[in-house]
Chains A and B, each alone.
Chain A
Amino acid sequence: MVIDAIVAVLFAIGVAFFAAGSIALLRFPDLHSRLHALTKADNLGLGCIALGAAVESSDLLTGLKIMLVWVIVLAGSSVVSFLIGQRFPRRSAREHEELYQ
């Protein structure tokens, strides 16, 4: 009963972060803000859902496997964000204003 409640709360938090990340991805004005939004969905959204699934799983080994999935996704998404950021360096504030006004 307590476990169910913990799982439900974790899933709710995870979904909230995913929703916030998705809305931000659509609404934010430039690449770097969008990358910032994506990391929230990957780190915290998936993290909370993985943690919830791990708590829900029957044994420790399955739970650890689920958390390993999260760690691997984190590694992949952080490297991808880094590469995208490196490829498109930040514009100066003035260039940014000219572009997005």
Chain B
Amino acid sequence: MSPGALDFGIAAIAVVLAARAVFSRDLFAAMVYFVALGLVVALLWARLEAPDVAIAEAAIGAGLTGALLFMTWRRLGSPRGMKVGGVAARWVLSVTLASSAALTALLLAASGSLGRFPGLAGEVADALPRSGVENPVTAVLLNYRGFDTLLEMGVLFLTLAAMRSLGVSTALNHERLAHSAVLAGLVRFAVPLSVLVGGYLLWAGASTPGGAFQAGAAWAGALVLMRLADTQLMSHLRLACSSWIGLAVFGAAAAAAYVVVGYPLAYPSGQAGIWILVIEVAAALSIAAILYQLFALDPGGKRNEDTKARR
């Protein structure tokens, strides 16, 4: 089988899984298809020689999103009032289908001109020696287009803020498995390993695929596992601090660069490496803390308490 046939096969599987995730009547089946889709898409990214994206997709797209979906599903209770249909749903579906079709057409049209434009790979490679890192992906994320990444941290932080404003109890939710010595054994084995893997990904991001998002996802996975095993690692205060430290350090770096160099996020010449490292460590901590809290905080917990108080 030629490599082209292999890629075509994987892509076809991805399309089928995506369709089943959307059109399954059974919510549980839809979630299983979605998680499987995440893994297949990660495989596609790997085939496209984009291991950075593949790691992030597998860890966040399939792993953590899957955990979030399953947790939400358990809390939905009886799937009876969740019937999909009606005029509004049909409108949403047709608008979504129309925009997806338009996007597909645009992408197809654009793919025809791929060969004519060399892209920015040359410029990225030329500036790489001055970027402070050796991995072009990290150079783009933290140096050339640092502003985008700063805004991404802002989006993550806003997500957590929005969730908390919906009446999240500060108490962590009770989504945990029965105490089990076997699970405790896995925690003792897997959590230190995840911390190590996250730390490696963070450090390796300077020269090979990896970086703050991949490291944060690995750490968040360790925190979720500890949560399920009912082991607490971080206090509420420490979690809260970790949630904003990434945005704070990134913002402070932008301000400091403005004072020193005269332009936000333009690192002083020759020192870019250390600036990027400091920002990435803080960002990875925040990403881990925020992703974990999306899983572990109790949405509607405060509302339930209020209802109880009113009674």
Pairing of A with B = yes
8 Å CB contact of A75 from B178, B180, B189: B189
Q: Does B97 contact A (CB under 8 A)?
A: no
Contact of B193 with A72 in the complex, beta carbons under 8 Å = yes
Contact of A86 with B186 in the complex, beta carbons under 8 Å = no
Contact of A86 with B193 in the complex, beta carbons under 8 Å = no
Bound form: Cα–Cα A75–B189 in Å: 9
Contact of A83 with B190 in the complex, beta carbons under 8 Å = no
A19: which B residues are within 8 A, CB to CB? none
Q: Does A23 contact B (CB under 8 A)?
A: no
Contact of B189 with A83 in the complex, beta carbons under 8 Å = no
Contact of A86 with B189 in the complex, beta carbons under 8 Å = no
Q: Does A88 contact B (CB under 8 A)?
A: no
Q: Which of B182-196 contact A (CB under 8 A)?
A: 182-183, 185-186, 189-190, 193
A83: which B residues are within 8 A, CB to CB? 177, 180, 182-183
Contact of A86 with B180 in the complex, beta carbons under 8 Å = yes
Interface size on A, residues (CB 8 A): 8
Q: Which of B164-213 contact A (CB under 8 A)?
A: 177-178, 180, 182-183, 185-186, 189-190, 193
Bound form: Cα–Cα A72–B183 in Å: 14
Bound form: Cα–Cα A86–B182 in Å: 11
Contact of A79 with B193 in the complex, beta carbons under 8 Å = no
Cβ distance B58 to chain A, nearest Cβ, rounded Å: 13
Q: Does A76 contact B (CB under 8 A)?
A: yes
Bound form: Cα–Cα A87–B180 in Å: 11
Q: Does A82 contact B (CB under 8 A)?
A: yes
B190: which A residues are within 8 A, CB to CB? 72, 75-76
A76: which B residues are within 8 A, CB to CB? 186, 190
Bound form: Cα–Cα A57–B74 in Å: 43
Q: Encode contact with B along A73-95: 1 for CB under 8 Å, 0 otherwise.
A: 00110010011001100000000
Q: Encode contact with B along A47-79: 1 for CB under 8 Å, 0 otherwise.
A: 000000000000000000000000010011001
Q: Encode contact with A along B63-107: 1 for CB under 8 Å, 0 otherwise.
A: 000000000000000000000000000000000000000000000
Query: What would be 21 A-B contacts, judged by CB atoms less than 8 Å apart?
Result: A72-B190, A72-B193, A75-B186, A75-B189, A75-B190, A76-B186, A76-B190, A79-B182, A79-B183, A79-B185, A79-B186, A82-B180, A82-B182, A83-B177, A83-B180, A83-B182, A83-B183, A86-B178, A86-B180, A87-B177, A87-B178
Known interface pairs A75-B189, A75-B190, A76-B190; 12 further A-B residue pairs with C-beta atoms within 8 A, sorted by A's residue number: A72-B190, A72-B193, A75-B186, A76-B186, A79-B182, A79-B185, A79-B186, A82-B180, A82-B182, A83-B180, A83-B182, A87-B177
B positions within 8 Å CB-CB of A: 177-178, 180, 182-183, 185-186, 189-190, 193
Pairs A-B, 3 closest by C-beta atoms: A79-B186, A82-B182, A79-B182
